[in-house]
Structure 1
Amino acid sequence: MYDNMIKIEFLSRSQNESFARVAVASFASQLDPTIDELTDVKTAVSEAVTNAIIHGYENGGGMVKIEAFIQGRELTVIISDDGRGIDNISLAMQPLYTSRPDLERSGMGFTVMESFMDNLKVESQNGKGTKIIMKKVFKSLS
């Protein structure tokens, strides 16, 4: 059982990326995070949502879902889409790899998520979408 949780669903439009980032940061604020911890979460959420919009739905229609859970001092954020999925997860997670070179993407999304969160797991199926599970443990208040 979790101490607290939220679920959010929104249209896969780039305008909603900032909403998602702020919503998760607001939820995480109950853990009394440092500014750096909050920035880490916002950056990782931004990258995951952007991936869903640009790669999952290829800037087309679809819904992005966010679930966030707090248990003790740990925040779990799950960002999922029902888009095209990832052909090769290990390749997609390599720094500088991008499936959309036409958009001049940097290919650093997963690397950024891994560096700002304590744990990252990616699940995906072709034609069925992608789920990104990220965890962050917040330092003790004492």
Structure 2
Amino acid sequence: MQFTFNEGHIQLPSQWQDQSMQVLVSTDNSGINLVITREAVPQGTLTPELYQETLALYQGKLDGYTEHACREITLAEAPAWLLDYSWNGPEDEGNQGRISQIAVFQRRGDTLLTFTFSTSLSLKNSQKTMLLEVIKSFTPLPPENDIQKDQPR
């Protein structure tokens, strides 16, 4: 398996699985961060089932969950799901804050790729629009087999 990251890529044994997480933080005092995760999709899982099961995890498990939007979108010319929601975050020094999040899920082969923006402040519509534009700028790499064909031996 080829694992690609900003600085390059490495070859891993085929039984390894990419469960990496990338965290990006805004420096503009908005408190917004972006977490990108990858999860292996169990063999035989149909895409509609995968999305419904993933959405149900969020909708049923978060304390004080409030859904603001849940819809299918297009990301990199393929279907994806957008979930805009808020929930009661973990208690910190006796204060339980509200967390606002926008998550976009997309199946890419045998991987569920998730982009999640989070902040402890309410997101304004202009911020939501900007964050969605960031996600829509996603450009997938060519499939691993195509990359290997291009590499000198």
Query: Do both proteins adopt the same fold according to a TM-score greater than 0.5, normalized to the shorter chain?
Result: no
TM-score scaled to structure 2, two decimals? 0.30
TM-score (normalised: structure 1): 0.31
Q: Whose relative contact order is higher, 1 or 2, with alpha carbons under 8 Å and at least 6 apart?
A: 1
